[in-house]
Amino acid sequence: EPDKFMLPRDSDMRYNWIHVRLDAIDLDELRELVIDGWRMCVPKKVAALVN
């Protein structure tokens, strides 16, 4: 969805980041993206504490 998301600069591609146009995304979708990204970075025991 290019109206919502953009790829970062080539130098930042190694981080697997993505840019989000905040004015084009609703709060629920943003929350889901942030929580999903957070779950990929924390231990499984910690991630299990959040519904």
**Tens digit of pLDDT per residue, the chain (51 long)?**
888 999 988 888 888 888 999 999 999 999 999 999 899 999 999 999 987
Tokens of 13: 């591609």
Is the separation of the CB atoms in 27 and 35 below 8 Å? no
DSSP-based three-state secondary structure for 20: strand
d(CA 41, CA 20): 19
